[in-house]
Structure 1
Amino acid sequence: MKKPTYTFLLLLFFCIGISSTLSAQTLLKGRVLDEQQKPLSYANVLLLHAKDSSLVKGAVTDDTGIFAIEAVPEGLYLISGSMLGYAAYFSKSLQLNAQQPEMNLGDLHLQSAAVKLGEVTVKGQKPFIELQQDKMIINVDASPVAAGNNALELLAKSPGVMVDHNSTISLKGRSGVLVMINGKQTYMSAEEVTRMLENTPASSIEAIEIISNPSAKYDAAGTSGIINIRMKKEKGLGTNGNLTLGAGYGENPRGSAELRMNHRTKDFNVFGSYGNFYNKRFQDIDIFRRIPFENTFTEMKQYDRKLMWSDNNRINVGADWFLSKKTTLGILANGSLGEWVPQSSGRNLLSGALPGAFNEVRSDNTGGDTWRDYTTNLNLKHAFDTKGHELSFDADYSNNNADKLQTNTNRFFNTAGTEVDIPNIVRTDAALEVDIVAFKMDYTRPLGEKSRLEAGWKSSFVDTNNDLVVETFTEDIWQNDPLRSNRFMYTENIHAGYLNFSTQLKKISVQMGLRGELTDALGQSPTLSERFTRNYFNLFPSLSISHPAGKDNSLSYNYSRRINRPSYDDLNPFVFFIDQYTFGKGNPYLTPEFTNTVGLNFSFKNKYVLSLNYNHTTDKITQILEQDDALRQTYQTTANLSTFKNYSATVSAPFEWAKWWSTRVNIVGYINDLDSPFNNGTINQSQFTAQFMAMNTFNLPGKVRGEMTVFYQTKTLEGIFEIDPMWGMDIGASTPIWKGKGNLKLNLSDVFFTRQPHIIVKQGTVDVIVDPRNESRRLNLTLSYKFGKNDVKPSRRRSTATEDELERVSRQ
């Protein structure tokens, strides 16, 4: 069959989708597997006439890799199987007749789609955004504008994802996102995840998966869904590798370098990588505060500029031993060593009712953070047969160490510019150590040809130790401040088990699951003589149903219940000195929040997708501001608010304007509704927000691929924080070089420097306006080069046991 004919048939099949069946004598069925005997979901299976390879009809495999083609008239046929990233499969001729009411074709095996032409490896180009039944996939390598960014900046450009001024990640207007790496929970707090993502270049990332309604197999953490970041890994028989170099410049430079290596034989696979990421950037923050005082007001206009350097080294090594065709033993170790150096200076101009003989406070902050993290993993996987019956086990240990030093100096001046008071100089040393041990086991067993049962267990043991030493410079010496120095220890043990069942009932696919989690936690501060315990058991059901909805269309429905536990630093009662009138503190009385989610997804002509979701959250964990009017001090902390509701709709549609120009449009609309008692009053706020993103792709002469992404967001509500509309544009281009072994990418992010938020807080006596400006406009250049053998074979992708817990660790 000629390639143009096959391409036409494949495109035609995508347009036809799951078609209505016609009356006939024979039912064809079978299963599609990859080279490792794993079922391939959403693979394309075509029934072709043997004489001319013309299309008869087609099908798409379900979650278990099974397909069925009904109503096939008698005749001579071929079967073709295909999937992006795999070579097409063609069967021998099949003769069907009226005496065969059913034919089972057995297993069809697809091979990796790498074709060697001399030294050139030709592969299919993945789209930047893929929509699957249960998730959206952002293929990072497919986008020129992704190059040169870090992982956090990349997330901020993903449809439905928002990263606010505090680097908090939300999905469709909901916070409580669980960030995973290679399918593993990180056990870090939101702040620590932010630090990790800021020090991870986009060139190290293969894809980002956005999962709005995870099944019971996933940890129940993350009330708004899961964002899974898949890191790159070299694969293939023999020795191969990849070298990536990147540089960027806005107002300050950044640079990255990474080397990935892999050596694979029939009996074992050894792989590793080392990367360095340097980033220097600025942040300007203007803050206006109006504080009531004795029937009048004190107004503060604060102007701060912060300059930050970070230098991070990441190393990853591992090996897989193929003990037999069915059993694989693996080890994995990764580590991160780095430092973050912030310096800031600012002016705070006071007017109205003054707190003293001064009307200006000048502040200087210097400091430095260092961190040393490592994780080790031992894993075993055994396949009982080639039909998906398998058992896997993981054991993990993680250690995270961080030390944060900061010196804050405040000087007080009058209108004449004369210093009128003794400087307030504070020095802090915050040390953190987190030890995590986790075990998990997953079991999968097919039940017949159309059903599958999954079961698993996981236990994690987390031990954190925080030590804060605060000193003030008094009488020319540093003296300990016993009122602010503190020690906080927190242990948390979680034991979980799950059952997940999926089946195919004619045209209806059903997946249902139930997860149970038992949590036992203890927090204590010897300094403050405070102690609290948390013991609770919860069940988390999930359900997903999908079926065709007429010709070319499909419908799916889902429900899930999830939990968002407080991060370790949010529970820490420490009071952190930010400046003379601004502090941060934890809340040891936080309780988990729970969310029930229902959703509907409609696919039209297998191209246009509409998703509707409703989420109801109780005891919502929210960043809030508390204010001491008498002292003119503002505290940023975290509290449980009563009820939070989120209604969202997402539309995704591709358009092809010309052979060289295509566009994918993603529109997300949501309503955030917050209703809760707060500070002797009530918060009752509701806000509609729309997010629009258009990704334009241009196939230019000379194999150059261009891209332009436009983003716009209307006014939004994040807890008590109102954020005004903002927009941005990114442009970029990429081209293969060195006979396809290299790739060059150039992009300019935030072309018009408009991706800057304007934040308003008006609640009770709190009246604050914040204008942060980040170094979002930057020119980036990335060069990558592949070497060694390029006959790529998919390597085993696995998840370890500790990533959920690392998600909640903080170094800040």
Structure 2
Amino acid sequence: MKKPASTALALILFCASGYTQTSLKTDSIPVNDSTWIALPEVMVKGERPVIKVEDGKLNYNIPLLVKDKPVTNAYEVLKEIPGMMEQNDVLSLAGTSGVTFLINGQKTNLTYEQIMSVLKSTPASRIGNVEIMYSAPPQYNVRGAAVNLLFTDPSVGTDMWQGEISGTFEQKYYSQGSGRANLIFSNNGFTADIMYAYNNTQVRMKEEMLSYPLFKEQRYDIKQLNLGHAQFPNHNIRAAIEYGFKNKDKISASYTGQYTDTENRRMSDMTLRKNKSDNNDVYKIFTDNTVKGPSKLHNIQLDYQSHFGLNVGGNYTYYNDNSTQDMENTPQLEGLPHFINSESEQEVKKAMVYINMTHDLAHNWNLNYGGNATYTHSRNISSSYMDGNVDDEASFLGKQQEMTANLFVGFSKSFNDKFSVQASVSSEYYKTTEKERNIEKTLWKDIAFFPNANISYVFCPEHILQLSLSSDKQYPSYWILNPTVYHINAYSEIQGSPDLQPSRKYNTSLQYILKQKYVFIAYFNYQPDYFTQMGYQSSDELKTVFKQFNFKYKRDMGITLVIPFRVKEILNSTLVLNGNYLTERCDDFYDIPFNRSKWFNVVQLNNDIKISTKPDLKLNVSGYYTTKAIQGIMDLGSTYNVSAGVTWTFDKGRAKLIIKGNDLFNSTTPTVNTNYKGQLSRMNITPDSRTLNISFIYRFGGFKEKEKKEIDTSRFGSSM
């Protein structure tokens, strides 16, 4: 019985050792919204904590986290969050099955790509804090894990113009550039801001594919070399106004617009023969495939926040995408179309309203309740022709209507200075109908319930324990639910998935925060009906079909460690270790069901090095390594990334020159191998991610950032 007592005594002594006992007047610091820790007036100098725990959230102090780092925009700021990793322009958070990005607590209406485009156009200096929520409360109008970017306000009570301009030259395989400008005016509670950004992105694509399909009891040998060039000139504009009343009510309105004109040309050289040892019956096919067209998005948001806990608002989004495809196969072969031409269009209209209420009750109780409703109408059109004849298989006119209504009730309670609980339950009614060729059918109609909980226990500021529970649902994109066919080349095509079902997510994580800087996370995620795209070598015809499928489930469990360390004032580093055991099972994948598991590990290291104070020069060297992984029947190779950058700050901190090299070894994309029950292929992708960036930033007028909200079009777009 002595060991537990000794352990408890050691913990108490360790907690107390962080502070000197004194009878002097003390101040307090918040650990969460209802827990305060007394501090003595006289303390030994120490490190400022980059991370705090506040009301069940991990709150990162961004100015402190990215100080002297070579970051220029909000997207690059997110990559500096410990546990956040970028791979092939996709951000993921260790320990989660997916994450929603919020701006000042507001859900977005943008697709992931559109959200990232806006963040890349937003100055890094506009972000004050980033909150990591492994189980977001329902008053955020989201479920599951969320990353909330909090933007700083301009000076209040003064008449001030503020701004920032920047420009970046970027050298990948092709040269490209971007620029942006922000201007803010504030006067006695009224603020107005406008932001414009332009970037002209160009991407080189190269893939080498080897396929050995079995067709009519004959093994074929197919080799492909695919080369491509894509160009995405993009305009982002945002204008917003806000007024803060003397009683602390606040009303705001904003407009966001995005305009893109894309051109993507891919050329494929393919060699086909009947078996690997026979040089007879060899066919060579060249495919020239160009897809181009504009897209535009408009979004209007209104929001009102009262001083007594009421939050009401709404937004409306209009999205339109047009594209044409012109594809030519040469030479002409029997059974192979010479020309494929198509035109497609997607139009989405989406409106959402919400109302939430919070009551501060006696004895540290808080009551939250509210709801939101969304109506979406999407129109999807495709007209496809093969050698001048209508391709009925790839032509359609579909209209989808979707209605969802959510209600929630929840509470939070601090039982004492150490123990607090936040919990809620949400109900969602959803119905989706589709009308095609005058035939209407119901895709989904159901009522679902989603529990949520965050439980925190503060042993002392040095030791904090949190348990998070969440559930969510993920819906397919509007376009993928249509019977569409997109031809990649003479051998491969992408098909739509009209029978695809939404997936559920159940997530649990336990977080332990030591000394307000070391983080240990154990997690378990379970996703029934998880869906993703996979390739299959057809047994009915000589082609590979890429299509999205529902799995029976996807399950992963693991541990994440965040370990910061420093060497005097010269080196400041963060090491992140993540070990994950992944299982994927699908019983309905054509004629080859699978149930596969694998360990997947990630190591990340971020180093900030002070070169000199005068001039103010800082060096950042970062990188990661991932072990081999799986996706369905595919085996993914290991990847790594090494990046470095130098930041020179001058003109009293108003100007910055940043030179940065990303993915110096061009090694962030895995090889893809398939060798499973007769499916045999290999794909080597040469990424276009090695980058040299030169950026210049200048701030004027005491630039501080205005709040910004984003938009949700997570299911828009005709890409597959």
TM-score of Structure 1 vs Structure 2, range by shorter chain: 0.7 to 0.9
Q: Of 429, 433, 442, which aligns to 2:343?
A: 429
Q: Of 387, 410, 419, which aligns to 2:329?
A: 410
User: How much is the aligned-residue C-alpha RMSD, in angstroms?
Assistant: 3.5
* One-letter identity of the residue aligned with 1:226: A
Q: Of 582, 593, 598, which aligns to 1:682?
A: 593
Q: Secondary structure at the match of 1:570?
A: helix
Counterpart Cα distance in 2 of 1:519 and 1:436: 15
Counterpart Cα distance in 1 of 2:591 and 2:336: 37
Counterpart Cα distance in 1 of 2:22 and 2:250: 38
Counterpart Cα distance in 2 of 1:244 and 1:588: 45
Judged with a 3 Å threshold, the aligned counterparts in structure 2 of structure 1 residues 215 and 580 are, in CA distance, closer, same or farther, namely: same
| Uncovered stretches (5+) of structure 1, i.e. residues with no partner | 1-15, 23-43, 85-123, 385-389, 414-418
Judged with a 3 Å threshold, the aligned counterparts in structure 2 of structure 1 residues 159 and 331 are, in CA distance, closer, same or farther, namely: same
Q: Of 49, 57, 73, which aligns to 1:134?
A: 57
- 1:60 CA displacement: 4.1
Per-residue CA distance 1:325-380 (angstroms, 9 max, x = gap): 33222211110112111112120111225999651111111231311101011221
- 1:448 CA displacement: 3.1
- Partners of 1:216 and 1:541 within 8 A in 2: no
Q: Secondary structure at the match of 2:715?
A: coil
Counterpart Cα distance in 2 of 1:198 and 1:585: 27
* One-letter identity of the residue aligned with 2:419: I
Matches within 5 A, 1:455-470: 455-470=369-384
- 1:298 CA displacement: 0.9
- Partners of 1:150 and 1:198 within 8 A in 2: no
Q: Of 661, 664, 686, which aligns to 1:748?
A: 661
* One-letter identity of the residue aligned with 1:247: F
Q: Of 229, 232, 242, which aligns to 1:320?
A: 242
TM-score, scaled to structure 1: 0.78
Counterpart Cα distance in 2 of 1:231 and 1:624: 39
Judged with a 3 Å threshold, the aligned counterparts in structure 2 of structure 1 residues 194 and 788 are, in CA distance, closer, same or farther, namely: same
Counterpart Cα distance in 1 of 2:454 and 2:95: 23
Judged with a 3 Å threshold, the aligned counterparts in structure 2 of structure 1 residues 335 and 436 are, in CA distance, closer, same or farther, namely: same
Partner of 1:365: 289
Greater displacement, 748-757 / 60-69: 60-69
Partner of 2:430: 519
What count of residue pairs does the alignment treat as equivalent? 695
Partner of 1:605: 515
Q: Of 179, 189, 197, which aligns to 2:116?
A: 197
Judged with a 3 Å threshold, the aligned counterparts in structure 2 of structure 1 residues 346 and 163 are, in CA distance, closer, same or farther, namely: farther
Matches within 5 A, 1:402-801: 402-412=321-331, 424-448=338-362, 450-472=364-386, 474=387, 478-506=388-416, 507-526=418-437, 529=439, 531-549=441-459, 552-677=462-587, 678-701=589-612, 702=614, 703-789=616-702, 797=707
Counterpart Cα distance in 1 of 2:249 and 2:13: 37
Judged with a 3 Å threshold, the aligned counterparts in structure 2 of structure 1 residues 136 and 692 are, in CA distance, closer, same or farther, namely: farther
- Partners of 1:343 and 1:365 within 8 A in 2: yes
Q: Secondary structure at the match of 2:393?
A: coil
TM-score, scaled to structure 2: 0.88
- Partners of 1:66 and 1:450 within 8 A in 2: no
Partner of 2:228: 306
- Partners of 2:273 and 2:281 within 8 A in 1: no
* One-letter identity of the residue aligned with 2:714: E
- Partners of 2:634 and 2:672 within 8 A in 1: yes
Per-residue CA distance 1:268-287 (angstroms, 9 max, x = gap): 11111111111112111111
Q: Secondary structure at the match of 2:716?
A: coil
Q: Secondary structure at the match of 1:383?
A: coil
Judged with a 3 Å threshold, the aligned counterparts in structure 2 of structure 1 residues 808 and 159 are, in CA distance, closer, same or farther, namely: farther
* One-letter identity of the residue aligned with 2:408: Y
Q: Secondary structure at the match of 2:652?
A: coil
- Partners of 2:72 and 2:123 within 8 A in 1: no
Q: Secondary structure at the match of 2:116?
A: helix
Per-residue CA distance 1:507-538 (angstroms, 9 max, x = gap): 112111111111111123228x5733311111
* One-letter identity of the residue aligned with 2:716: V
Counterpart Cα distance in 2 of 1:757 and 1:721: 11
- Partners of 1:575 and 1:585 within 8 A in 2: yes
Judged with a 3 Å threshold, the aligned counterparts in structure 2 of structure 1 residues 491 and 169 are, in CA distance, closer, same or farther, namely: farther
Counterpart Cα distance in 2 of 1:182 and 1:424: 52
- 1:302 CA displacement: 0.8
Counterpart Cα distance in 1 of 2:591 and 2:295: 41
- 1:235 CA displacement: 5.8
2:299 paired with 1:375: yes
Q: Secondary structure at the match of 1:217?
A: helix
Counterpart Cα distance in 2 of 1:542 and 1:515: 8
- 1:500 CA displacement: 2.6
- Partners of 2:393 and 2:484 within 8 A in 1: no
Per-residue CA distance 1:20-61 (angstroms, 9 max, x = gap): 579xxxxxxxxxxxxxxxxxxxxx9999765xx8xx7x7542
Matches within 5 A, 1:193-232: 193-194=112-113, 197=116, 201=120, 204-205=123-124, 206=126, 210-220=132-142, 225-228=145-148
- Partners of 1:144 and 1:745 within 8 A in 2: no
Counterpart Cα distance in 2 of 1:652 and 1:752: 25
- Partners of 1:220 and 1:515 within 8 A in 2: no
- Partners of 2:95 and 2:522 within 8 A in 1: no
Judged with a 3 Å threshold, the aligned counterparts in structure 2 of structure 1 residues 210 and 719 are, in CA distance, closer, same or farther, namely: farther
- 1:312 CA displacement: 0.7
Q: Secondary structure at the match of 2:480?
A: helix
Judged with a 3 Å threshold, the aligned counterparts in structure 2 of structure 1 residues 593 and 355 are, in CA distance, closer, same or farther, namely: farther
Per-residue CA distance 1:611-660 (angstroms, 9 max, x = gap): 00011221111222233224211211111111221102100011112321
- 1:737 CA displacement: 1.7
Judged with a 3 Å threshold, the aligned counterparts in structure 2 of structure 1 residues 778 and 231 are, in CA distance, closer, same or farther, namely: farther
Judged with a 3 Å threshold, the aligned counterparts in structure 2 of structure 1 residues 374 and 744 are, in CA distance, closer, same or farther, namely: same
Counterpart Cα distance in 2 of 1:83 and 1:479: 75
* One-letter identity of the residue aligned with 2:564: P
- Partners of 1:391 and 1:441 within 8 A in 2: yes
Partner of 1:257: 179
Q: Secondary structure at the match of 1:587?
A: coil
- 1:184 CA displacement: 3.6
Q: Secondary structure at the match of 2:669?
A: coil
- Partners of 2:107 and 2:142 within 8 A in 1: no
Counterpart Cα distance in 2 of 1:186 and 1:551: 34
Partner of 2:714: 807
Matches within 5 A, 1:214-293: 214-220=136-142, 225-228=145-148, 237=158, 238-293=160-215
Judged with a 3 Å threshold, the aligned counterparts in structure 2 of structure 1 residues 17 and 745 are, in CA distance, closer, same or farther, namely: farther
- Partners of 1:145 and 1:746 within 8 A in 2: no
Counterpart Cα distance in 2 of 1:601 and 1:590: 34
- 1:159 CA displacement: 5.0
- 1:609 CA displacement: 1.4
Judged with a 3 Å threshold, the aligned counterparts in structure 2 of structure 1 residues 505 and 160 are, in CA distance, closer, same or farther, namely: same
- Partners of 1:146 and 1:202 within 8 A in 2: no
Judged with a 3 Å threshold, the aligned counterparts in structure 2 of structure 1 residues 763 and 536 are, in CA distance, closer, same or farther, namely: farther
Counterpart Cα distance in 2 of 1:130 and 1:752: 35
Per-residue CA distance 1:84-103 (angstroms, 9 max, x = gap): 9xxxxxxxxxxxxxxxxxxx
Greater displacement, 199-208 / 591-600: 199-208
| Uncovered stretches (5+) of structure 2, i.e. residues with no partner | 1-10
- 1:79 CA displacement: 10
